[in-house]
Structure 1
Amino acid sequence: MLNSKTLNSYTSKRHSPFSTVSPSLFLTRAPLALAIASALSTSAFAQTDAIDKPDPSTEMEVMVVTADFRSSSLEKMPSSITVIDSQKIQDESAQHFEDLLNSIANFNWSGGSSRPKYFQIRGVGEQEQYQGAPNSSVGYIIDDIDLSGIGMVSSMYDLQQVEVLRGPQGTRYGANALAGLIYLKSNDPTDVFEHGAEVSLGDDDLRTFSGFSSGPLTDSGKLLYRVSLQQHQQNGYHDNLYLGRDDTNGRDEFSGRAKLRWYATDDLQFDLTVLHADFDNGYDVWSLTNSPTQTTSDQPGVDSQRTTGAGFKATYSGAETFELTSLTSFANTDHHYSYDGDWSNPEYWASKQCSENSNLAPCQYDYFWDKTGQRKTVSQEFRLSSTEQGRIFADSTDWLLGVYGMNLKEDNQLYSEYNAWPDEVLDSEYEATNYALFGQLDTDQGSDYALSVGLRLERRNSHYSDTNNDNFDPSETMWGGHIAVSKVLNDSHNAYVRVARGYKAGGFNMTLPVELNDKKEFSTETLYNYEIGLKSHWLAGLIDTNLALFYMDRQDQQVAASQQDPDKPQRFILFTENAGSSNNYGAELDATWYATDNLQIYSSLGWLETAYGDYQYQDKYGTEVDLSGRDLAHSPHLTYSLGGTYRTNSGWFTNLNLSGKSEFYYSDSNESRSEPYTIVNARVGYEASAWSAYLWGRNLFNEEYGVRGFYFGNEPDNGWAEKQYIRYGDPRQIGVTFNVKFM
């Protein structure tokens, strides 16, 4: 098993000279960044000639999955997992998680925010969170700091890897990972000095300044540090014709991370991570004309999030039979989300004729929606895991036992205004406390068989109250786990069968009209995932493949529904309810071909079939709509990607990649659907031993592709007739990047 000092040392078979050192150094905003830049500028450049290019023939791939209890190689994990390493992140010029997610099989996101934070894995996940208790189906964790449901602060800078675990993670993560988990692992401190700086410029007034510094703080090498900082700005691709501005959808994003690692003794290690992210983004993307780049709103919205978090890990390995691990995390987040609900301006509406008591008159329609929130989470986990000497059952079985506790508090203030009058005013308070016991056994069965069994028992107590006199105190006990059997078929193939049970807590709906009182509460959802997989090396390791087939049985499926209020068409009634059992099934394939020492080709393919269970709902006119058997929202049947990287021995570099999806439904409450699309990206450049320069382009053919859609009436002069409205993804962007790195 890899120890804590070597988990960060994996490299890829075919890579650039820089794969062992992440690029960049920072030049803006924070005094700490300026201090680092000043210290490095006087002497570091003189050291660059000492950097030698590594020999690819001497390095073997060890792709380590860090999100599980025991960090293990990807090929040995009996589960469908995609790992995107730092080399691919750099090769594709990914600045944010948004730039990578289209390359993940059976993965989708809902574009109702300035950056992705609502995700779907295998068709399961949320599309929005306008009000109510935060309760995510897809976990989102950065360096052991839980940001589920608020994962928009996900810069890819100085990241070791992205891990996407598909299917319920009931043993490891419990209630927030019904559909799966996204885990971002940043680079750890190093025992030698490494520094870097990076600048990117592009159209849409893009400016990104980044930097990192890492190394020992003491001569003994027992105290190490790493600091990485990034400031990203751009206008946001939209022109507001009414205000005459091109930055109402702008992005102003700061990300900072500091890490300390202390080898206190030979048996005791401490790791501290401090994260601060300040994303002060605009939100102005909707248009009555469905323009992908032009708006006419008079009150552009915002989508901002400021998160400060910390994770503290202590590992004691001095006992003969066990290792003790303590994980403590804290996160404090302030978020603000607002939008112009009429999507236009008073002059536009005054030019239209609306029906008032059978008489035509100029329209008056002005609607604005605004919500602020404050979230705090504190969690603590203790776990004991066996050492080689502590194995049980005739030294055949590793064991693990743990306890977990988390407290989450979130206060929200909602205010909407219709024609200069308050329309909806609601202040709410929510608190949830979770306690869990968990355990896992991993047994060598002999004859190259391995058995893994895990179980988690979780208790959740919560309280909700608001100024509308809604009060709820739901509490429940839930359980999840897994059984997996794997078999090493030969040196090249490893097969597995896995059954996992996940759960998502029940909840409540607030501010419902009297006729919907029967929908005040909804029940816990459970999901059984049945999966078989094959992880293989072909042609003496030139081709790696990971194939998984799955079948998901969802019981008491939670469905997010909405109705446009017929008496107040500017307002929507939002609620969650349980549908009958439903089944999803499909397959995922990840493949990499090391064609030559200079050429690497990679691809992913996802196939997904989803369906509602027995589910009917009533539209705003009281007409019953039956969705039984229909595809779930944001669940395309096909997701795919194909890419390739070529490096010459003289230092020239090129990467070309494409990704796409088939059509999918935008919502659980209507029949509006996207169009299928394919996006093409490219990057070319030159890489020297201490610097590199690149020209890159995203969405080169300027594909118009929908990432979120609504179907409702938003134009009074047309009798509030229902119509499809689409939010489009980012158009074409061209830019350049220059970076240096030195030791």
Structure 2
Amino acid sequence: MLFSTLPRKTKLAAAIITTLGIPLPVFSAAPTVADEDIEHIKVTSSFRSESLQHSASSITVLDSNLIQDEGGEHFEDLLHNVANLSWAGGSSRPKYFQIRGVGEQEEYQGAPNSSVGFVVDDIDLSGLGMTSSLYDIEQVEVLRGPQGTRFGANALAGMIYTTSNDPTDTREFGAEISGGQEDLFSYAGFASGPVDNSGDLLYRVSIQQHNENGFRDNDYLGSDDSNERDELTLRSKFRWFASDELQVDLALLYANFDNGYDAWTLDNNGFTTLTDQPGKDKQETTGGSLKLNWELNEFVDLVSISSAAHTNHRHAYDGDWANPEYWSALSCTDYYDENGNGDFTDQIPCQYDYTWDKQATRDTYTQEVRLLSTEQSRLFSGTTDWLTGLYIQRLEEDNDLESYYNGFPDLFLQSDYEATSIALFGQLDTQLNAAASLSLGLRVEQRDASYDDDGGDSFDPDETMWGGHITLNYLINERWQSYGKLARGYKAGGFNTGLPDDFSDNREFDSETLDNLEFGIKGYWPEQQVSVQAALFYMHRDDQQVEASTQDPNNPQRFFLYTANATNSDSYGLELETSWQATDNLTLYSSLGLLDTEFDDYVVTQADGSELDLSGRELAHSPNYQFSIGATWRNDEGWFANINLNGSDGYYYSDNHDQKADSYELLNARLGYEKEDWSVYLWGRNITDEKYGVRGFYFGNEPDQDWAPKLYERYGDPQQFGVTFRYHYL
């Protein structure tokens, strides 16, 4: 199905690539491809740090050069560079991600259970990805496919692993300020260097404050900031060279994203709202990690990673998307006469007022200890590296949900959730001969959880899961390598809360497994200054977990939200990226993701009560193609320009209905002047002002239309222009 539609669906991407002369195989986001630069790009999320060139996996690295060239302030700004990565826009910032069509779209009820992991400086923020400022970030690594050996249950689909800049052994500091349309004002700064003259203790601290009005005008309140972004990020890092054998790294994070949430309209105009009680989308996180790299002796190295994070998060919205005056001007059916009997004939002014508010506190603690072989302790005559380790995670979350309907309390629920995971893992990496190597990995995880709420639901699931990989890596020559990989990922089962009696079969759902077969090639042509990576994959999911919902016919403001197992699904596709140093001044880069997904057997009940057969249909948030293509130009006098175009095929919004987003293309540009210690840039995002959907719901939300189901869409950010000034002192 995918390849039969490829010429039609990738026509625009192919035309752009052909026009710029970029070879079709496309992959690394690095801006240059000299030999030393390729070796410099390190994948830090693996057990052992390795070069991107030699990693046997489909990985995109968004490094600090690309972040600076495209001017990304938040991970949302650079998502388009990652092949087969999507996000569901039901929050003020990307929080719910899909890799190769696998991942959550929302989390209104139930317990946290992520398919895509999200880690910042070894602090686990899976399911809490909105606090992902890019200021002073060294790189973002996106690992596609199950990471069963390395990360376990939170990485069924893959992992997003972010690393901030390390402390430097020389003193330096910098500052940045931006202003622009939509009341944009952002300032940031950092300082780094040795604490004293010994050089044994280094530090780095950074701060960023970002504000803008959120691109919405609330006509009812006469406000232009009901959807505002008010985002503060503080980071600090300390590196202590305790001895020749021991290095200690401490990372601290504080993020306070106090954002509004007023993004939905009844008429789908997208940017003019009518709510009287705009919502909030807030996340305040305090966290830290402590990492020890310790050469215990000549035979064993030890790595210990401890982390803790405390998060208060809140998501609230005005569910009727309007105000009392709006509704009272419309006519609704009077379902009851003065005696409370069914009438269905008279028309009266509508009354509809609904607010929903969930506040939660999450605490996450992790501890990982691993032992790694040295050159002296390799097995099988020195051909095999080994490692083994233990991982423990403790997650606690308390939720407080309340909603009001027409001035009366509607749904109130307080819940407590706890989960403890303990995993044992190991890996063997064997050099079979001068060209071939074999990697074997296994992880076994035990999860015990408990849930209680004041609505009477109580669950105590426990299960043992396992995952791993078998990878064969073949070095074609010193510049090219290929690999084949079979990996298994897993995700814990769980439970659904607040369901009526006729949903008793959906109280609990089973764990899910994902098998991934992948073939890849990586390499570069130094003469042509071109680097290439390509991956072809096939994925099979057993007992696939899907998100479903049904509107309560007796209380249409309410929904029964639950997770179910939809038998199986299959996916296959390609990820291609390249970078080309076309001249001494011009770098061209691009990415292309192709994806085809398909349910096996799955039938769902829609909001109007009818059944929808999704057997053989594509999965939600799984566009058939995504592309990005960019060019960066610098001359010797300091002038700079970057232009990038990215796009996506249309995709289904949900696995609970058949509504789709339209395809789109976004054009961004950045022009500047750069000196040794300062630079200034003029930039524009979504220059053509493309209107594109990032989330869609299909349900009844208009009582004057007898609650008839309708597609409601939330749109991505419109056109915006601004200016940035940056100062850096060494």
Q: How does the TM-score come out when normalised to structure 2?
A: 0.94
1:286 to 264, 279, 304: 264
Contact 1:12 1:61 in 2 (8 A): no
Matches within 5 A, 1:428-577: 428-538=415-525, 540=527, 542-577=529-564
Number of the residue aligned with 2:161: 183
Whole-angstrom CA distance in 1 between matches of 2:547 and 2:277: 28
Distance in 2, matches of 1:11 and 1:413, equals 42
**2:582 equivalent among 595, 598, 605:** 595
Instruction: Indicate yes or no: 2:134 matched with 1:156.
Output: yes
Q: Which residue of 2 aligns with 1:95?
A: 73
Bigger mean CA deviation after superposition, 623-632 or 685-694: 623-632
Partners of 1:14 and 1:598 within 8 A in 2: no
- Give, in whole Å, the separation in 1 of the partners of 2:647 and 2:593: 11
The Cα shift of 1:540 comes to: 2.7
Pick closer, same or farther for the CA change 1:456–1:58 going to 2, 3 Å. closer
1:199 maps to 177
Q: CA deviation at 1:730?
A: 0.2
Which residue identity lines up with residue 251 of structure 2 in the other structure? T
Alpha carbons 1:594, 1:601 under 8 Å: kept: yes
Identify which range, 536-545 or 79-88, moves more after superposition: 536-545
Aligned CA distance change for structure 1 residues 338 and 11 (closer, same or farther; 3 Å):
closer
Q: Distance in 1 between matches of 2:416 and 2:672?
A: 52
CA displacement at 1:742 relative to structure 2: 0.7
1:623 is aligned with what amino acid? S
> Which of 190, 204, 208 is equivalent to 1:212?
190
Per-residue deviation, 1:596: 1.1
**Does the 8 Å contact 2:488/2:514 carry over to 1?**
yes
Given the alignment, which residue of 692, 706, 720 partners 2:707? 720
Where does 1:13-28 land on structure 2 (aligned, <5 Å)?
14=32
Q: Residue 125 of structure 1 aligns to a residue in which SS?
A: coil
Give the counterpart of 1:662 among 631, 637, 649.
Answer: 649
Q: Which residue in the other structure is 2:611 paired with?
A: 624
Contact kept in structure 2, 1:599 and 1:644, CA below 8 Å: yes
In the TM superposition, residue 619 of structure 1 has moved relative to its aligned partner by 2.9
Q: Distance in 1 between matches of 2:36 and 2:546?
A: 52
1:627 & 1:14 partners in 2: Cα distance? 45
Partner Cα separation in structure 2 for residue 171 and residue 148 of structure 1:
17
CA RMSD of aligned residues (A): 1.4
The aligned counterpart of 1:325 is 303
620-629 vs 386-395, greater mean Cα deviation:
620-629
Checking the alignment, whether the CA contact within 8 Å between 1:107 and 1:122 is kept in structure 2 is: yes
AA matched with 1:98: E
Q: Give, in angstroms, the shift of residue 595 of structure 1.
A: 0.6
| Aligned counterparts, 1:674-689, within 5 A | 674-689=661-676
Tell me the distance in 1 between the aligned counterparts of 2:270 and 2:663. 16
Tell me the amino acid that sits aligned with residue 216 of structure 1: P
SS where residue 95 of structure 1 aligns?
A: coil
CA change 1:676–1:206 in 2 (3 A) is same
Is the aligned partner of 1:355 residue 2:333? yes
Aligned residues of 2:29 and 2:62 also touching (Cα < 8 A): no
Question: Which residue identity does 1:413 align to in structure 2?
Answer: D
Give the structure 1 partner of residue 19 of structure 2.
none
Distance 1:475 1:521 in 2: 12
Contact 2:31 2:579 in 1 (8 A): no
With the length of structure 1 as denominator, give the TM-score of the two structures.
0.92
Query: By how many angstroms is 1:66 displaced?
Result: 0.4
User: Tell me, which stretches of 5 or more residues in structure 1 are unaligned?
Assistant: 1-9, 16-55
Q: Distance in 2 between matches of 1:541 and 1:141?
A: 36
SS where residue 490 of structure 1 aligns? coil
| Corresponding letter in the other structure for 1:510 | T
Matched, 1:416 2:394: no
Q: Which residue of 1 aligns with 2:687?
A: 700
Deviations 1:326-383, CA, capped at 9 Å, x for gaps: 1000000000110000000000000000011310000000000000000001111110
Q: 1:58 to 1:492 in 2, by over 3 A?
A: closer
Match for 2:637 among 650, 663, 679?
Answer: 650
Q: Per-residue deviation at 1:662?
A: 0.3
Letter in 1 for 2:192: S
CA–CA distance in 1 between the matches of 2:203 and 2:159?
Answer: 28
Matched, 1:79 2:57: yes
* More displaced stretch, 428-437 vs 538-547: 538-547
Asked if the contact 1:12–1:62 (Cα under 8 Å) also holds between the matched residues in 2, the reply is no
Structure 1 contact 426–467 (Cα < 8 Å) conserved: yes
Q: Which residue of 1 aligns with 2:112?
A: 134
Q: State the Cα distance separating 1:618 from its structure 2 match.
A: 2.3
2:265 maps to a residue whose letter is S
Contact 2:29 2:589 in 1 (8 A): no
Give 3-state SS (helix, strand or coil) of 2:476's partner: strand
Is the Cα contact below 8 Å between 2:29 and 2:81 reproduced in 1?
no
Task: State the identity %.
Answer: 57
Gaps of at least 5 residues in structure 2 are: 1-27, 335-342
**Does the 8 A contact of 1:283 with 1:303 survive in 2?**
yes
Distance 1:75 1:245 in 2: 51
DSSP-derived class of the 1:457 partner: strand
SS of the equivalent of 1:610 reads strand
TM-superposition CA deviations, 1:83-113 (whole Å, max 9, x none): 0110000100100000011221111000000
Give the partner amino acid of 1:152: M
Matched residue, 1:3: none
Kindly state the Cα deviation for residue 388 of structure 1 after the two structures are TM-superposed. Answer: 1.3
Is the 2:607–2:700 contact (alpha carbons within 8 Å) kept by the matching residues of 1? no
Alignment partners' CA distance in 2, 1:368 and 1:322: 58
- Of residues 273, 276, 282 in structure 2, which corresponds to 1:304? 282
Q: Match for 1:366 among 337, 346, 353?
A: 353
- The 1:127/1:57 distance shift into structure 2, 3 A limit, reads closer
Q: Is the 8 A contact 2:29 2:579 kept in 1?
A: no
| Residue of structure 1 equivalent to 2:372 | 385
1:640-678 alpha-carbon deviations (Å, 9 max, x no partner): 000010001110000000111000000111111000000
Q: Is 1:406 matched up with 2:393?
A: yes
Q: State the distance in 1 between where 2:525 and 2:548 align.
A: 47
Q: SS in structure 2 opposite 1:220?
A: coil
Q: Deviations over 1:536-555 (max 9, x none)?
A: 21253611111000000100
Distance in 1 separating the partners of 2:579 and 2:609: 52
* One-letter amino acid of the counterpart of residue 497, structure 1: G
Q: Identify the residue that residue 33 of structure 1 maps to in structure 2.
A: none
Letter in 2 for 1:591: T
2:557 is paired with a residue whose SS is: coil
3-state SS, counterpart of residue 454 of structure 1: strand
- Partners of 1:699 and 1:620 lie apart in 2 by 34
CA distance in 1: counterparts of 2:199 and 2:631, whole angstroms: 39
Q: 1:719 Cα shift?
A: 1.2
Q: 1:14, 1:531 → 2: CA distance?
A: 27
The letter of the residue matching 1:258 is S
> Who is 1:709 aligned against?
696
Distance in 2 between the 1:59 and 1:80 partners?
A: 19
The answer to whether structure 1 residue 232 and structure 2 residue 210 are counterparts is: yes
Partner of 1:254: 232
User: Given that residues 11 and 59 in structure 1 are in contact (C-alpha distance below 8 angstroms), is that contact kept between their aligned partners in structure 2?
Assistant: no
More divergent stretch after superposition (313-322 vs 201-210): 313-322
Q: Cα offset for 1:58?
A: 8.0
Instruction: Please give the per-residue CA displacement for 1:668-711, whole angstroms capped at 9, x wherever unaligned.
Output: 11111000000000000000011000000000000000000011
Distance in 1 (CA, whole Å) between partners of 2:72 and 2:31 is: 21
Residues in 2 aligned to 1:710 and 1:60: alpha-carbon distance in whole angstroms: 44
SS in structure 1 opposite 2:310?
strand
